[in-house]
Amino acid sequence: MADLKIHPLADNGRIVHVTPQSARWTYVGFDLWKLKAGEEAKGGEQGREVCLVFISGKGHVTAGRQDFGVLGERLSPFDGKPWSVYVPPGEKWRVTAQGDLTLAVCSAPGQGTLPPRVIGPDALHQETRGKGSNTRHVTNIIPEWEPAESLLVVEVITPGGCTSSYPPHKHDEDNLPHESLLEETYYHRLNPPQGFAFQRVYTDDRSLDEAMAVEDGDVTLVPKGYHPCATTHGYDLYYLNVMAGPKRTWKFHNAKEHEWLLKA
């Protein structure tokens, strides 16, 4: 199994590159680009749909024959909702940075049945889940009720001292309607950035059981199992989730020993 935590070793260009081959799984891909003014990110692979998420900064976007102009407005992932662009498989895309830009490229299998589109902040659904020290704030970028072929993309902000993706849940069995099989990546950011958080990825039989300290910019992989997070006092945790599997629906199974927390 591939290592579950990726810490970027560069601070310019494509600084994270997760493919199904490198992750030793089947569906999810994730790239992260950090660009200066005038620098470009580009792509467009046959058989893979893409969601471009503007983590921070602005960029000029083209996809296929469409020119979407300059998108992006927030200064950090903690500054409101993102701009995003859906790009179908095989359509070439290009983003030219207008100043410092951090761009996430989320990908999964597709046949090319949908047109490219801009997903603006005003169109995004937000909700708060949990309560007390299990509170988190969710922004749905491509939830299952919005069009895509495989991708599910969501942002979450967890206030300092709180847990998230908790009580522990998993989605690693193709057992609908009870549970769906979805691979998942987490792209973590901390505010202030010198903070840290924790994530555990584990299975019932503990054949996989890895606890990780995550810092600003780390990417974690969830090939299977439960995957809760906890952030430390004084540091808010942001993460961008990318999920995909054989069926495009999010049905999860809670760890039985912790389900009582849902009623507490």
* Total domains present in the chain: 1
Token pair recorded at residue 108: 């999964």
What CATH number should be reported for the domain holding residue 231? 2.60.120.10
pLDDT in tens, 125-150: 999 999 999 999 999 999 999 999 99
Taking a C-beta distance cutoff of 8 angstroms, is the pair 208, 200 a contact? no
What global pTM score does this model have? 0.97
Q: For residue 78, what is the DSSP state?
A: T
250: Cβ–Cβ under 8 A, 6 or more apart, which residues?
144, 152, 171, 180, 182, 243
Taking a C-beta distance cutoff of 8 angstroms, is the pair 225, 142 a contact? no
Reduce the DSSP state of residue 261 to 3 states and report it: helix
Q: Which of 173, 171, 163, 184 is nearest to 233 (CA)?
A: 163
C-alpha pair distances (Å), 168 with each of 16, 59, 200 = 27, 37, 9
Reduce the DSSP state of residue 172 to 3 states and report it: strand
Taking a C-beta distance cutoff of 8 angstroms, is the pair 53, 81 a contact? no
With bands split at pLDDT 50, 70 and 90, how would you rate the model's confidence at 2? low
State which residues form the domain around 35.
5-262
Q: Which of 217, 210, 165, 228 is nearest to 194 (CA)?
A: 217
pLDDT in tens, 142-177: 999 999 999 999 999 999 999 999 999 999 999 999
pLDDT in tens, 39-98: 999 999 999 999 999 999 999 999 999 999 999 999 999 999 999 999 999 999 999 999
70: Cβ–Cβ under 8 A, 6 or more apart, which residues?
58, 59, 60, 61, 98
